[in-house]
Amino acid sequence: MDEPLYISNASYILVTRQDYSLHVRTNESILVEDDIIKCIGPSEACRKPRGAYIIDGRRRIVAPAWINAHTHVAMYYLRGSLPDQGFWDWINRIMKLEEETITPRLVYYSSLLGCIEMLMNGVVGFIDMYYHPVETAKACSSLGLITANGPTSKDFEVISKTLEKLRAIKSTIPIMNIHSLYLYDTETLEKLFEYASRNNLLKNIHVSETRREVYMVWKETGHWPVEYLYRMNWLDDKTILVHLNWVMSHEVEYISEKNAKAVFCPQSSMRLAEAGFAPVYEMLSRGITASIGTDGSSGDRFNMLDEYKQLILLYRHNYWDTRLSIYWAYPRIVINGYRILGLKGGVVEEGYPAYLVVYKYDKIRNNPLTKTNVLPAIVYSDHPITEYVLSRNEIIYSPDKTDKLGETADKALEWIMDNAAERIDYIRGRLIGKQ
C-alpha cells in the first residue's frame, strides 16, 4: 500500500508500550505512514492526510496484532481428531496417521486454511514446526503472514537445502526445529544444536511438556530436561522452550540466566491432560521473554484472545494466585511474541512498525464497554470479530478481502476433503478401514 492509512475515531485503542505498560485511549485516531505509526491522538491533533485509506474506528477496538508463538499450522486437516486422548496416546496415534497421510500438497492446502484462520484472529506471524515447512511458508507468505519455520529432518543435506529454500520465500524466518529431547539420541541432538548455533538460527523445541517426559529424560541423563539443556550448553538466547508444564524452580533460573525464550500452549496442554503448568507470573516478573501459541490440532483453533484467556485461567487454577493480572500480562505476552522472533513490534506507539488489529465488538456480547473494562470484556467474555489486520504497510485482512479469501479457502477445503478428511476416522485417529 503506497498511500497512508488512517483509523478515524477509534472507540478504544489498547496502547502497549515498549516498557510493557498498557494504556487505554478512547475516541482517538491513528495515522500509519511508510510502515510506521506516525501519530495517535484526537483527530484535531492527529490529522487525516489527503488521499489516505480510511478505516472507520467507531465501535471498534484497535490493538496490537498477535504473533502465534507455537503452531503446527498444517495440522488444520486433523482438527477434531482424537478428541479424548491423553498426550502419549495422542502423539503415538497422530504420528502414525500423519505418516499415512502427509504429502506436500496436503501441507500446502492445510496451511493455507490455518493461515486464513489466523488472519481472522488478528495474527500477523507465527512460529511453526511441521513436515514440509517450505509448503507452509509458501502458502502463508502468499497471504502476507510472517512465517518462522524450519526443517524437522535429521539429515543435514535436507536441512541445509530446506533452509536455503525458506530463505528465498518472502517474510520467512528460517529456524531450526528440534522436536524434543525424547525423539532424538544425544549424538543427533548434539549435531542439531551445534548446526543451529553455527548458523545463528533460533532453535524451537518442546520441553517438559508431560511428567512422563521429565522422568524419561531424568532416567536417561540424570538431569531434568531444561537442566540437561543447560548442562549440555544448548540453552541460549536463541532457544525457544515450548510448554514447560513441568519445569522446576532452579530450571527457571537457568532460563533466565541464559535469556532463553518460553512459549506456553494452555488449551492444548489441558486438552491432552498434561497437568502441571509453568510458573508464568514468576517467569514474566523475572523478565523472561515468554509468550503463547495455539499449538497443533490439540489446540483446535487459532484464536489468540482465547489462548490468552486460557493462560490466565490455567495459571490461576494451578497456582491459587491472581497476580497474573489480565492488564499486566497482556502487553508482555503480545510484545514478547515479536521479541522471540527478534522483531520490533507489538508496541502501539508513535515511531513503531504498524502491526495492528481492528476488532469490531458486539453490541450484546461485549457490552457494557468502558475504558476500565475493555480488555477483560474482550478476553474473558466472547471475543470480538477481527475486521482488519495490518502488517506494516500492508492490509492483510479486511472486509474487501473476505470474498477472495473465501474462494481460496473453498478450493483448499475441497482438496482436503477429497484427499484426506474423508479417508480419516477422526474419533479413532486412523484411516477408515485400517486397524
Record the cell numbers describing residue 190, joined without a space: 548434539
Q: Which stretch binds Zn ion (CB under 5 A): 108-116, 294-302, 328-336, 420-428?
A: 294-302
Q: Which stretch binds Zn ion (CB under 5 A): 227-235, 289-297, 408-416, 422-430?
A: 289-297
Half-sphere exposure of 181 (CA within 13 A, CB side): 28
Within 10 angstroms of residue 18's Cβ, the number of other Cβ atoms is: 13
Q: Which stretch binds Zn ion (CB under 5 A): 97-105, 293-301, 307-315, 341-349?
A: 293-301
Residue with smaller CB distance to Zn ion, 135 or 209: 209
Q: Which stretch binds Zn ion (CB under 5 A): 33-41, 49-57, 288-296, 392-400?
A: 288-296
Residue with smaller CB distance to Zn ion, 68 or 162: 68
CB of 264 to Zn ion, least distance (A): 11
Residue with smaller CB distance to Zn ion, 295 or 387: 295
Within 10 angstroms of residue 206's Cβ, the number of other Cβ atoms is: 26
User: Cβ-count burial of 432 within 10 angstroms (0-12 exposed, 13-18 middle, 19+ buried)?
Assistant: exposed
CB of 80 to Zn ion, least distance (A): 17
In the complex, residue closest to Zn ion by CB: 295
Evaluate whether 416 touches 110 at the Cβ level (below 8 Å).
Answer: yes
CB of 265 to Zn ion, least distance (A): 7
Where does 230-294 show beta strands of DSSP type E? 239-243, 261-264, 290-292
Which residues, in sequence order, are bridge partners of residue 325?
none
CB of 293 to Zn ion, least distance (A): 8
Longest dimension (CA), the chain: 69
CB of 91 to Zn ion, least distance (A): 10
CB of 24 to Zn ion, least distance (A): 33
Nearest C-alpha neighbor of 210 from the set 190, 224, 189: 224
Record the cell numbers describing residue 394, joined without a space: 500492508
Residue with smaller CB distance to Zn ion, 72 or 401: 72
Which residues, in sequence order, are bridge partners of residue 394?
391
Nearest C-alpha neighbor of 238 from the set 174, 311, 158, 283: 174
CA 340 to chain CA centroid, nearest Å: 11
Q: Which stretch binds Zn ion (CB under 5 A): 58-66, 112-120, 130-138, 287-295?
A: 287-295
CB of 179 to Zn ion, least distance (A): 8
Site string for Zn ion, 295-314 (x = CB under 5 A): x-------------------
Residue with smaller CB distance to Zn ion, 60 or 206: 206
Tell me which residues touch Zn ion (CB under 5 A).
295
